[in-house]
Structure 1
Amino acid sequence: MALPTRQVIEARNVSKAFGENTVLKDISLSVKRGEVVSILGPSGSGKSTFLRCLNRLEIPDSGSIKINGKPLGYREEKNKLYELRHRDLARQRRAVGMVFQRFNLFPHHTALENVIEAPVQVLRRPKGEATRNAMDLLERVGLGDKAGHYPSQLSGGQQQRVAIARALAMEPDALLFDEPTSALDPELVDDVLQVMRSLAHDGMTMIIVTHEINFARDVCDEVVFMDGGLIVEKGPPSQVLANPQHERTRRFLKMELSEDL
């Protein structure tokens, strides 16, 4: 039976400041189950901060975020919101996995051990079950033969694919990617993007902060362009990338595409 189409992530009027620097200004974005959304924009536009707000690594100053229809970080009772206890928040955050720019693998664990750590420690899965699932995931990202390798023995692209497998091991409803290829040598980027293409093909809900214009054009259902803490423009790739309506979007895309030549 097909899952109903509904909002997995719903952000409404989210704002965030660090001291006097307002990084997010009234941001609203909804992502349905199975959708892939890319967020483009120059450095300092608020992209990564917004992503971190979506799984409570940063707490917005105002606005609301719902995951699967429930307020992130709160329980709702008689039209009032009460902050969740740490354990309940951790359970809620499992619905939204995060893949970071710098991999963040445990250096003293093998690839396999990195992938099984959270299912065993957080989900309390039996180690044998977690190991079988982790091996399936490593095969899925093309690293079944690297299960016993430590991060220092892997390329940056391989480490990032382990990080993706680790996020998938928690069986999230959505994955957030924070510039997952920006720390990689150019020849290593394609392997990571191919894994992400496969996830999109399989129906994984994803929000991807990226500078990979071609990936956004080919894979994403919606493209969001941010600048100065604002969503300047959003829509299907055929609109935002091929026929942007705002001059700021046009200038950014022209610069990005010229750097790729």
Structure 2
Amino acid sequence: MNAVVQPTPLVRARNVHKSFDHLEVLKGIDLDVATGEVVAILGPSGSGKSTFLRCINHLESISRGSVEVDGEQIGYQFKKGRLVALSSHTIMLQRRKIGMVFQQFNLYPHMTALQNIMEAPVGIHGQSRSEARKEAMALLDRVGLLAKADSYPRQLSGGQQQRVAIARALAIKPKLMLFDEPTSALDPELVGEVLATMRDLAGQGLTMIVVTHEIGFAREAADRVVFMDDGKVVEQGKPDEVIGNPQHPRTRSFLSRFI
């Protein structure tokens, strides 16, 4: 019988450690994410979720271990058996395959929604303005904001600004999307529209890692739920398993506050 060859994961994290001075925030994270998979990361504040997400695209440098995206070591290369930091230019090129949406929208206030989305394709990736505009309009349509193309951030609600931020991240055509608690800065009545956009992206097969406290989204949209605590992966599995029948006492304790 021939062995089944498993596809290489899009994201491969091994023994990832991160310390800030003497504070160890990540204590050996191992995680694979397959192409097209949606992974929701849950856990209490201070558990290292956002730090781990930022390590994936090298917004934070790791202290030990390795992170690969699409088969490429992010931020470093091995030379003579040890990791050597890459140049900032090379890291910027690596980030082309990784889109990220933050808690805060970080839109340029002096640019319209359309201009915000066009900025990276034109200014960083050298795309023609006409092509970037066409694709940006399609992305605004995709997130339900085509009518707001010429609106400035101050003229948009928080939910609309976050959907523009999602479109902006998609404009670089990433293979991987990272979401760092994308609804935490929103008023409760605006959360649903952002989650609906994210559900649509998940349904379209985009690979996503989502740090969130939205248990309903994790249950409905994620292929896998990862629970982190104290800088470690405590438990992971299908949403119905981790959320519906958690095995670890720490997971049960955390989820009892939401369910």
TM-score relative to the length of structure 2: 0.95
- Alignment pair present for 1:67 and 2:108: no
Provide the residue aligned with 2:181 in structure 1.
179
SS class of match (2:60): coil
- Alignment pair present for 1:38 and 2:40: yes
Structure 1 stretches of 4+ moved >6 Å: 77-80
Provide the residue aligned with 1:195 in structure 2.
197
Provide the residue aligned with 2:157 in structure 1.
155
Deviation of the 1:79 alpha carbon: 6.5
Deviation string 1:210-258 (CA, Å, 9 cap, x unpaired) is: 011111111101101111111111111111011100111001001123x
Match for 1:227 among 212, 224, 229? Answer: 229
Distance (Å, rounded) in 2 between the aligned partners of 1:5 and 1:199: 22
Amino acid at match of 1:254: S
Deviation of the 1:77 alpha carbon: 6.6
Deviation of the 1:108 alpha carbon: 0.8
Number of equivalenced pairs: 254
- Alignment pair present for 1:18 and 2:27: no
Deviation string 1:58-116 (CA, Å, 9 cap, x unpaired) is: 00100000011111113457876543222221111111111000111111111001000
Provide the residue aligned with 2:90 in structure 1.
88
Amino acid at match of 2:22: E
SS class of match (2:30): strand
SS class of match (2:209): strand
- Alignment pair present for 1:134 and 2:136: yes
Distance (Å, rounded) in 1 between the aligned partners of 2:82 and 2:134: 43
Which consecutive residues of structure 1, in runs of 5 or more, have no partner in the other structure?
none
Cα 1:254–1:202, aligned 2, differ >3 Å: closer, same or farther?
same
Match for 2:49 among 47, 50, 54? Answer: 47
TM-score relative to the length of structure 1: 0.94
Distance (Å, rounded) in 2 between the aligned partners of 1:19 and 1:77: 26
Q: CA RMSD in A?
A: 1.4
Provide the residue aligned with 1:243 in structure 2.
245
Provide the residue aligned with 1:112 in structure 2.
114
SS class of match (1:255): coil
Distance (Å, rounded) in 1 between the aligned partners of 2:82 and 2:40: 33
SS class of match (1:256): coil
SS class of match (2:200): helix
Amino acid at match of 1:24: L
Distance (Å, rounded) in 2 between the aligned partners of 1:17 and 1:81: 17
Which consecutive residues of structure 2, in runs of 5 or more, have no partner in the other structure?
1-5
Distance (Å, rounded) in 2 between the aligned partners of 1:88 and 1:21: 29
